[in-house]
Structure 1
Amino acid sequence: MYDFAIIGGGIVGLSTAMNLGLRYPDAKILVLEKEGKWAFHQTGNNSGVIHSGIYYKPNSFKAKFCRDGSQSMVEFCQKHNIEHDICGKVIVATKPEEIPRLEKLYQRGLENQIPVQKISPEEVKEIEPHVSCLAGIRVFSTGIVNYKQVCLKYAEIITKQGGDLRLNTKVLQISSSGKNQVLETNQGSFETRFVINCAGLHSDRIAKLGKAKPEAKIVPFRGEYYELTPEKRYLVKTLIYPVPNPDFPFLGVHFTRMIDSSVHAGPNAVLSLKREGYKKTDFNLRDFAEVITYPGFWKLAAKHADEGIQEIIRSFSKAAFVSSLQTLIPEVQAEDLVPTHAGVRAQALRNNGSLVDDFLIIPGENSIHVCNAPSPAATSSLEIGKAIVKQIPQQAHLKSLVA
């Protein structure tokens, strides 16, 4: 019998387990991950950015958790000797119509209490000599890290706390046994008093197994990247972002220096035909059918048809992808870029066609379901874990487990 069972071994699930261990040191805690490694999907394929929180609506979970999370993530890395770099980033306007949007972004940064600074094109060039722009802002608190290393440290801490970590264990069914819940898996059954669903790309399905109603469906979007060849890495010193289109839910292609000194360019954002579809050829009939028969998808597609078409073109045309990158760094040429790994974003979409633009945490019967935790969830993971622990109802059996 376990006190808590966490489904999903990505950065949010592991952070939650670790924070549970801190809050309830005598609790029996179980983490179930269907893959053979921790951080296998979203966490292990993201850009490795420690985000500042500048983009997010003031007072939203994303804004608060990301701002606080960027600080707690840095402190965690310092404490545990995990390599990271608070290199900062620039966001630049390359067209006159982007300048008012850049100003709004600057104001949002101030509202979110993030250290930001307006900079001229000449000042941008002092930071990023190869960027061409009309105006820019500098975001000082943005950094880079390898989130797989962070997850391995979370897992190590959970093990030291006495937690039970199970890889290669896929949850197939959830049933009730009195006040407890039974998780049927490919490795047998596990009984627990409380379930926390952090299943990422499959979080809506797990929520339904647990008889919760997420009122949103996960739609997978693949983000495809190129990487600068080693001899061209000098073109990028830190992180370079365009001004995002406020009518489109993604940030646009950008340049990211990784903690291993490689430089990634991208991503675009295209519908994946499989929830874990990292290649263009990946296809799963169930995943595809769920999306294609979902009214919310067609409403979203109609609203963003022009942008969606451009993303698809960039997916199949390297020339189009390079052209987008050249708006930031004109020197970049097609031969400077080689394909690298893609990531898949688990984005919750409502039936009315609106994207869930904040973290979505839903209470259930003796359960909590994290049904939308895309970027900046990695940055925010410590804060999300703390918040989930605080939301757990104070049941009688927990009183004896409190530190």
Structure 2
Amino acid sequence: MTEHRQRTGRSFAVIGAGINGAAIAREITQRFPDALVTMYEKADHVAAHQSGHNSGVVHAGLYYEPGSLKARLCRRGVNLLRDYATANHLPYDECGKIVVALHSEEEDRLRAIHERAVANGVPDVELIGPDRIREIEPNSVGCLALHSPHTAITDYAAIARSLVSDVSAAGGRVHLSAEVVDIDAAPEGATITSAHGSQRRGERTEHVESFDFVIACAGLQSDRVAKMAGGASHPTIVPFFGQYSKLAEEHRTMLNGLVYPVPDPAYPFLGVHLTKRVDGEMLVGPNAFLSFGRENYSGSKIGIKDSIRVATDPAFWKFAAHNVKAAVHELGAVLSRKKFLAGAAEYVPSLKGAVSTPITRGIRAQAMDADGSLIDDFVIEHQGRATFIRNAPSPGATSSMAIAEHILDVISKAHDLAPSSPKSQQKDN
């Protein structure tokens, strides 16, 4: 528990210390300096889950449906994230990205992505031919590509830690190793029961505290946390793991930026791509396959509770029935790293025969509706004075500071909360 100053204003609980929870907690301290802000994180450190297991890409907003929450908050989020990283001397590299069509049948899909990107206000995005592809990425090939020069990479875990430090500096409380086990929502606020300490060592103690407002950013556990407070039964979270491999040192400088495939509508996820990391490493991946455990990052331990939950969910089997081809395709890449790398070598031929080492996998908190469809847009559920982020897939990290603004705007309007700081009046629109 961190030290905190006495507060006389409203009280807010934020569940989850990933980048979304951290951004929301900081936004509260910016708008309401007199508020008491308390963060709960069940892990023993910040950014322990999705925020600490990702490629670090700052998405420009190429793919998203114009006018969707994703599209709007991604573009706003890029600007906020870049400015915050720069002001706080955190890693941020506008290395650029090309989305490459290898065959003529992919070109129409790529042109449609370009139209979306322009509609979303992505700056300086353009379609380029083979000569320009080689100029930007001498080791890459393709018949047509979409170039996004301002797509960037960062360290989301470092940004989350910095945001949480801001919360602490503003007098907020940060409880680590503190799992929320119950939420009692009422019209005037909510009461949170949290278990502190190590369950494995039998040292957990329960605490009960009431708040004026609760905002949950629980990622992989978002559906369970929402249901504690009487939230809707759907969407539910189905975890998909993504395995990246780190290329050998001799391949670290083979690309100037990022190289992505054109998304194939036959598959629910993006496909294998090449990603430069801010520490200089070059990653290839990820594959996407059902994870047997929501937090099974090593792949060595089956989460019994999570696996049973998926196996007994009719929605999952509806999804599976329509994605047999995708499952077979992804399973091949899971079982064979050689096949995995062969996919990347189509875009960068010099990768043939490359050596790579798997790194800790990431796990995507994919929200699924009752009919088995994957939910694409952000989903934010409001229940009186309790708010739950139910779905924040990529570009959720890119959009985190904009998601924070959006949620606080909605809460402030719904409950007639006047800001006690001029900060909220200075936003770019």
Category of TM-score, reference length = shorter chain: over 0.9
In the alignment, which residue of structure 2 is the partner of 1:158? 167
In the alignment, structure 2 segments of 5+ residues that lack a partner are: 1-6, 197-206, 423-429
* Structure 1 position 126, deviation (Å): 1.0
The 5-angstrom pairing of residues 29-68 of structure 1 reads 29-68=37-76
- Structure 1 counterpart SS, 2:351: coil
Q: What is the TM-score with the length of structure 2 in the denominator? A: 0.90
1:34 is aligned with what amino acid? K
- Structure 2 counterpart SS, 1:186: strand
Matched, 1:109 2:128: no
**1:87-120 C-alpha deviation (Å, 9 max, x unpaired):** 1111100122111111111111111111211111
* Structure 1 position 77, deviation (Å): 1.1
User: Which of 122, 146, 151 is the matching residue for 2:155?
Assistant: 146
Matched, 1:313 2:332: yes
In the alignment, which residue of structure 2 is the partner of 1:195? 214
1:358 is aligned with what amino acid? D
**1:160-210 C-alpha deviation (Å, 9 max, x unpaired):** 211111111001111257833221111322221211110000010000001
- Structure 2 counterpart SS, 1:309: helix
The 5-angstrom pairing of residues 203-214 of structure 1 reads 203-213=222-232
Say which is worse superposed, 256-265 or 321-330, in terms of deviation: 321-330
Matched, 1:282 2:283: no
Separation of aligned partners in 2, 1:379 and 1:314: 27
Kindly tell me: are residues 71 and 285 of structure 1, through their superposed partners in 2, closer, same or farther at Cα, counting changes over 3 Å? same
User: Which of 225, 229, 236 is the matching residue for 2:244?
Assistant: 225
- Contact persistence 2:15–2:216 (CA under 8 A): yes
- Contact persistence 2:190–2:386 (CA under 8 A): no
* Structure 1 position 70, deviation (Å): 1.0
User: Which of 239, 242, 257 is the matching residue for 1:238?
Assistant: 257
**1:131-171 C-alpha deviation (Å, 9 max, x unpaired):** 12111110022001111111111011111211111111001
1:83 is aligned with what amino acid? P
User: Which of 9, 22, 32 is the matching residue for 2:30?
Assistant: 22
User: Which of 406, 414, 422 is the matching residue for 1:387?
Assistant: 406
1:348 is aligned with what amino acid? A
- Structure 2 counterpart SS, 1:227: strand
* Structure 1 position 334, deviation (Å): 4.2
- Structure 2 counterpart SS, 1:282: coil
In the alignment, which residue of structure 2 is the partner of 1:348? 367
- Aligned residue pairs, count: 403
- Structure 1 counterpart SS, 2:49: coil
Separation of aligned partners in 1, 2:219 and 2:334: 24
**1:224-268 C-alpha deviation (Å, 9 max, x unpaired):** 011111112222221000101134332111000000110110001
User: Which of 375, 388, 391 is the matching residue for 2:394?
Assistant: 375
Matched, 1:95 2:114: no
In the alignment, which residue of structure 2 is the partner of 1:333? 352
- Structure 2 counterpart SS, 1:202: helix
- Contact persistence 1:207–1:213 (CA under 8 A): yes
Q: CA RMSD in A?
A: 1.7
User: Which of 128, 132, 137 is the matching residue for 1:128?
Assistant: 137
Q: What is the TM-score with the length of structure 1 in the denominator? A: 0.96
In the alignment, which residue of structure 1 is the partner of 2:85? 77
Aligned identity (percent) is: 36
Separation of aligned partners in 2, 1:136 and 1:364: 44
- Contact persistence 2:183–2:193 (CA under 8 A): yes
Separation of aligned partners in 1, 2:234 and 2:77: 27
